[in-house]
Amino acid sequence: MAVWFFGLTYLLAYVAECDPSGRLSGLANSAILIGQGLGPMAAALIVGNGNFHAVGWLSSLIYLICIAITLYVIGGRKNGNKTVALSKQSTI
């Protein structure tokens, strides 16, 4: 649970920093929603056969796939051009 509360918050903040348009943050939240819905169903199908080790391998595989997707998206930003959306402030 500590990873969920602290690690996920950090990753979502990092994703928001990397993509000012917000599309990547939306994709991350969608992945969380789908994972929370499909993960227990997939685990129940695997555990139904009495194979508890397969659930751990399935979780590890899903985790590695998510890390690979994240690295692929972040890897495209190696050019050093970091655009940050700043609001214009007016001075009175």
What integer best gives the mean pLDDT of the chain? 75
How many domains, in total, are found in the chain? Answer: 1
Residue 88, domain member (yes or no): no
Residue 92 lies in a domain: no
Q: Are 20 and 83 in contact (CB under 8 A)?
A: yes
pTM equals: 0.45
Rg of the Cα atoms in the chain: 18
Domain range for 68 is 2-75
Residue 28 lies in a domain: yes
Domain-located, residue 90: no
Residue 91, domain member (yes or no):
no
The verdict on residue 25 lying in a domain is yes
Return the pLDDT at 86: 46
49 is a domain residue:
yes
Tens of pLDDT along 47-68? 877 777 888 888 788 888 878 8
Query: Would 41 be classed as within a structural domain?
Result: yes
- 5-34, pLDDT tens digit by residue? 777 778 888 888 888 888 888 888 888 888
